[in-house]
Every structure is written in C-alpha cells, then in structure tokens.
C-alpha cells in the first residue's frame, strides 16, 4: 500500500544524548506539575459553584491545548480560593509554558510566602530572575536550596558553574563540571559548558580542547558545538580550522543552510561577534541544553525549559527554535509561527525558519500564502532546491499532482549532479506522475530513486506495490517489498503491500497472515481493512469479508472508495473476478 507520510522538518541541532530515565522525569513532573487539584474543604470555597466551574473550564481548556484560556479560568478560580497552592502551581507551570514568566513570578511569590514544601520550581524561577539581572550571588544562594532530584541532577551542575563564573570564580565552576561521570551524554554537555566558561576566562586554547572533546564524544554531528567552536576559530583568525570544521558538518548534512553566513564571513575575513557575552548567557545555554536533551521524551517540559532559556536570554535563537518546535508537536502551528517570526532575521536560522512558517501556513489552511512565500524563496536563491521541493510537497498534499510535478521538475533542473540525498526528490516526483497516470515517467523516477538509494524502504514499497497492482515484475516486486518489510516490520502499509503481492503470486495463506498483521498494526486504516476483506472473500470467508468492509466504511475512507466498498457489502465480489479489478 502507498504511504504518503506527513512532511516534517527535523531539528537541525542534535542535543547531547543524556541518559535521562523515565523515573527522573516522572519524579520531577510530580513535584512541579501536579496532576490532581485539591480544593479547600472550608465552607467558603467548597460550596462555590462559580469557583468550581472556573476550575473545570480551566481543566477543559488545558486538555484542549488552549493554555491561555486555562490560565484565565484558573486565575478566576484562585480569586475565590487563594489558598489552593496546587492550583497555583499548575497555573505557574502553564504561565511559564506560554512565556508569561513575569506573571508566573508574581504567583510564585505568593507560594514562597506560604512556606509550603515541594517548591523547587518556584525556587528555580527566583534564581533565574536573579541570574537574568546578573545578581549572581543571590542566584547562587537560591540554587543552593534546590534539591538534587529528577532533572535537577542534570541542570544543577551547569547552573552552579555559571553563577560561579558570574562571580569570576572560573576554576570553581570548572571543577563542578569536571566531576567524574560514566554518562557520555553528560560528559559532552559539561565539556561544552566548560569550554564556554573557559572562553569567558580568556582561556581559548583550553576552550578549544573541551569543544573538541565534546565533538569526539558525539556519534553524529552537532550543530550547536560546531557553531560555538567555529565562532571561536573565526574570532581567533583560524579561518582554515573553521572551514575544516564547517565542511565536516556539511558533509554529513549537505542540505543545511545554517552555515552559509559563516562561509560568507570567512570569505570576507570578517570576524563574528562572540555568541556568549556574559555568564547570564551561559545560564540560558544550560536551560536550552536540558530542554533539547529531553525533547523526544517530554514535549511539555521541553517547552518549559525552552521558555525559561528565552526568558533569561531573549536573543537565544536556538531556544526560540526549540520552543516553536514544541508548539508544533502540540499542533499549535500559528503560535509556533509567532515564535519563528522572532528569529526570522537570524543569519543562521532565517532560511529554515521561513520554510517552516510556510509549511505551517499550509497546515492551517493558508495554502496560497504558503505557496507565495515559497515562490519568493525559490527566486531569491536559485542554487537551492528546498523551497521548490517543499512547494511540490504542499501541492501534492492537496492532490494538485500536475502542479507539484512541475515544482519537482524545476528543482531537478537546478541540480548539477544527483547524489544519494536526492532520492526523495525523485520519489516524490514519481508519486505525482503515478497519480496523474503517467506511469512511464513515474517508473523512471522511482528507479532513479533506487539507483541513488537502493534499499530505501518507501521507494521499494511504492514501486513494488505499483508493479503488483499492474501484474508485472511480481517476483522482483515480492523481493523488494520483503526487503522493505525487513527494514520496517511495524509499518502497516508496507506489510499490507506484502499481503497483496503474496495474493497475486497465489500464496493465499501467506497473504491472509500478512494482511491480518497489517490490520493489527494499523487497525484504524480503512484501506488495509478493505484489502483484508477482499482477501477473505477470495478464500471463501465471506462473513468475515463483509465485517472488514463494514469496518472500512466506518473508518472514513476516501470518497472514491466509499461507493466501491458499499457495492462489495451488498453484492460481494463477482465469482472468479480478479480482486485488482474490484478495487
């Protein structure tokens, strides 16, 4: 079966791989983000239907991804129940997640005065306020009160080191970061922060060694470390070293635009400004480091720490980028675009941010604006193809296959020599031609995609399925699809394709097993359920076939499928009729 996956943009900075356990996150979440709200038992509050109604409205808004409305209702509830500290903590967490830190600090002050327990997050907010104002002595005293539990295990050493650096106690700060650990992720993280502190102390040679250690400990290229070390090399007039470093990163991610500005500076022998100018910037970097490290594990806490990093240092573009990505994870695309707009002029991130804004515009129904933005970008830089391919992707999503193929073809014309990474362009173009029933052009592009990436599972599946559907190259198609299944055994669409090819080859028992497994993997997919119904009918299991077709019908199939499925439910498949024709 064909599978057109949602087009997403990966983060272009890969965080250090910290070994952060689920238990650590749960422990932190229980302390900071209460899941239950307890109301006062006194008559004054428990009988207040308005207060309870505001609370329920807030909960509803929170769980429907409308945190600002949730905050509004929680604050309303707190007016009648000011002693409900758990509700106040929830409100603070939501305020921080929305970047409303100053308001959160007002609420935090109320909790501090109440003298309650489990106020680590409240203490952290106060410490960060002091660090933002470069009052490092007060920040240090606050940090001493933080427990060394949960995510604080990873954050505290960095904060402690940076507030000491703020007092020019560089060696004391480095001593904290240099403590022995068996966690390579922490070694990487602390090496980077140690390097930044060395820069603050004017020890550039030692900083370089620490950056190099961080890169050595990484299995994959790290943009943030590359940018930090490259920036230092450039400021030291070590342009060859900087170029070598950037080239190494670009060899791994050749499509990236994030180093274009650096190459231009080097060519002009123009030194950049330092990326860090104070210990306050280091505190923000520490918060960003933690946020990026937990990005795949807990989007809400990523949002919290990303917002805090932006609060301490509003100009930290990567923190804003991370915040926007977290909002996208929660399908808050317009809010994400607002954050992206803050960094749209940043020379490192401008291009990728504009691509993301366009994609989000399309997803909220502003497709014309998205296409217009991408057309402008495509004309701005005629050496790049990503604006054109993204335009093609959007048009393809909207089933405008002829227009999408034109965008892809224009992108192909800009490429002087095809490389491995260009398989996806040929694959997408092949899909657009196949949907236009221009099979010769489609097949040509699929085969080219496989020439560039011989074992790419999506291409193996799409081409193999297409051949099976046409009744040609069945043996080769089976081998291709089995290869794809081996790589992606949990992909229901590919397993569905295997069932289809086995049926065409006469292996009915194998076909049933494959399609039943595909339905187990993707029970919500109407097409796979429809396919299983067809196979059941073909082997005489007609009652089960009818059940699967009915199931497919209630799973919101494509418009052109509905009539066919209804006909099968009422009449079944004609005797001796090839299933392919019934589809």
Residue-wise pLDDT tens digits, 104-163: 999 999 888 877 666 889 999 999 999 999 999 999 999 999 998 888 989 999 999 999
What DSSP string runs through 331-385?
Answer: T-HHHHHHHHHHTTT-TTTHHHHHHHHHHHHHHTT-HHHHHHHHHHHHHH-TT--
Looking at per-residue pLDDT, the higher value among 526 and 297 belongs to 526
Q: Does residue 488 form part of some domain?
A: no
- Looking at the domain assignment, is residue 93 inside a domain? yes
For residues 511 and 503, the answer to whether their CB atoms sit within 8 Å is yes
Domain membership of residue 421 (yes or no) is no
Residue 357 has a pLDDT of 98
Residue 141 forms part of a structural domain:
no
The single residue listed with the structure tokens 């007609």 is: 542
Measured CA to CA, the distance from residue 293 to residue 287 in angstroms comes to 10
Tell me if 570 is assigned to some domain. Answer: no
Q: Residue 576 has what pLDDT?
A: 59
How large a percentage of the chain has pLDDT more than 70? 87
Rounded to an integer, the average pLDDT of 400-407 is 98
Does residue 14 register a pLDDT over 60?
no
Q: Is the pLDDT of residue 61 over 70?
A: no
Question: Quick one: pLDDT at residue 117?
Answer: 64
- Is residue 504's pLDDT more than 70? yes
**Residues 8 and 355: beta-carbon distance below 8 Å:** no
Residue 497 lies in a domain: no
422-450 average pLDDT score: 98
Q: What pLDDT sits at residue 182?
A: 79
Domain contains 66: yes
Q: Which residue has the tokens 């291709």?
A: 480
Sign of the dihedral through C-alpha 511, 517, 521, 527:
positive
**In total, how many domains does the chain have?**
1
Looking up residue 54, the CATH number of its domain turns out to be 1.25.40.10
Rg (CA), the chain: 28
Whether this model's pTM surpasses 0.85: no
Q: What is the mean pLDDT of residues 171-198?
A: 93
pLDDT at 432 over 60: yes
**What average pLDDT does range 337-360 have in this prediction?**
95
Structure token digits, residue 396: 């393809």
Distance CA 234, CA 448 (A): 41
> Tell me, what's the pLDDT at 577?
53
**231-273 confidence digits (pLDDT tens):** 999 999 999 999 999 999 999 888 788 898 899 999 999 999 9
pLDDT of 580 higher than 80: no
Long-range contacts of 201-204 (CB under 8 A, 24+ apart): 201/165, 201/170, 203/170, 204/232, 204/236
Of residues 117 and 559, more confidence is placed in 559
The tokens describing 366, both together, are 């502003």
In the chain, % of residues over pLDDT 90: 71
Q: Which tokens in the block code for residue 228?
A: 């930090």
Closest listed residue to residue 147, CA positions, set 284, 37, 30, 309 = 30
| pLDDT over threshold 50, residue 315 | yes
Average pLDDT, the chain: 87
Does any domain span residue 55?
yes
Q: Which of 12-21, 158-167, 285-294 shows the lowest mean pLDDT across its residues? A: 12-21
Confidence label for 57 from pLDDT (cuts 50, 70 and 90)? very low
- Section 285-295 average pLDDT: 93
Find the domain containing 82 and state its range: 47-118
Largest distance between two CA atoms of the chain: 86
Band (pLDDT 50/70/90 cuts) for residue 39 is very low
Average pLDDT rounded to a whole number, residues 38-62 = 41
pLDDT confidence tier of residue 303, bands split at 50, 70 and 90 = very high
């Amino acid at each position: 079966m064909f599978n057109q996956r949602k087009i997403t943009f990966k983060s272009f900075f890969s965080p250090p791989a910290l070994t952060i356990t689920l238990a650590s996150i749960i422990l932190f979440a229980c302390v900071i983000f209460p899941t239950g709200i307890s109301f006062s038992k006194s008559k004054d509050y428990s009988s207040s239907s308005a207060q309870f109604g505001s609370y329920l409205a807030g909960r509803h808004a929170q769980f429907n991804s409308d945190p600002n409305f949730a905050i509004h209702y929680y604050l309303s509830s707190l007016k009648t129940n000011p002693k409900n500290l758990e509700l106040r903590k929830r409100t603070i967490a939501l305020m921080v997640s929305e970047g409303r830190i100053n308001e959160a600090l007002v609420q935090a002050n109320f909790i501090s005065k109440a003298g309650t327990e489990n106020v680590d997050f409240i203490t952290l907010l106060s410490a960060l306020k002091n660090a933002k104002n470069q009052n490092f002595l007060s920040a240090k005293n606050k940090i001493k009160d933080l427990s060394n539990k949960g995510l604080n295990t990873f954050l505290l050493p960095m904060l402690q080191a940076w507030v000491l650096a703020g007092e020019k106690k560089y060696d004391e700060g480095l001593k904290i970061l240099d403590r022995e650990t068996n966690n390579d992720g922490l070694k990487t993280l602390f090496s980077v922060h140690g390097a930044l502190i060395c820069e603050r102390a004017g020890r550039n040679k030692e900083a370089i060694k620490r950056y190099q250690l961080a890169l050595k400990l990484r299995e994959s290229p790290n943009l943030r470390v590359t940018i930090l070390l490259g920036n230092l090399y450039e400021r030291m007039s070590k342009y060859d070293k900087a170029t070598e470093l950037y080239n190494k990163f670009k060899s791994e991610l050749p499509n990236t635009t994030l180093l274009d500005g650096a190459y231009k500076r080097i060519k002009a022998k123009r030194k950049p400004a330092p990326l860090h100018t104070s210990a306050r910037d280091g505190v923000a970097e520490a918060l960003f480091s933690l946020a990026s490290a937990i990005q795949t594990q807990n989007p809400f806490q990523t949002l919290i720490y990303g917002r805090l990093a932006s609060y301490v240092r509003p100009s930290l573009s990567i923190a804003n980028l991370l915040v926007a990505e977290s909002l996208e994870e929660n399908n808050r695309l317009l809010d994400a675009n607002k954050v992206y707009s803050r960094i749209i002029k940043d020379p490192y991130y401008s291009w990728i941010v504009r691509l993301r804004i366009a994609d989000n515009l399309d997803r909220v129904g502003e497709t014309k604006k998205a296409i217009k933005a991408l057309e402008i970008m495509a004309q701005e830089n005629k050496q790049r193809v990503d604006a054109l391919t993204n335009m093609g992707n959007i048009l393809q999503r909207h089933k405008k296959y002829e227009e999408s193929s034109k965008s892809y073809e224009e992108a192909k014309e800009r490429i002087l020599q095809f490389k491995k990474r260009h398989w996806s362009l040929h694959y997408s173009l092949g899909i657009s031609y196949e949907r236009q029933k221009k099979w010769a052009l489609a097949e040509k592009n699929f085969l080219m995609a496989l020439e560039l990436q011989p074992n790419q599972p999506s291409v193996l599946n799409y081409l193999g399925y297409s051949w099976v559907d046409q009744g040609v190259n069945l043996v080769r198609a089976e081998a291709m699809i089995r290869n794809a299944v081996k790589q992606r055994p949990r992909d229901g669409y590919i397993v569905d394709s295997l069932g289809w090819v086995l049926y065409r080859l006469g292996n009915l028992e194998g076909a049933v097993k494959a399609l039943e497994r595909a339905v187990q993997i993707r029970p919500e997919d109407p097409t796979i359920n429809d396919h299983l119904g067809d196979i059941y009918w073909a082997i005489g299991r007609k009652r089960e076939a009818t059940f699967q077709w009915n199931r497919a019908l209630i799973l919101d199939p494509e418009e052109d499928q509905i009539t066919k499925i209804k006909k099968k439910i009422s009449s079944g498949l004609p005797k001796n009729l090839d299933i392919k024709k019934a589809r």
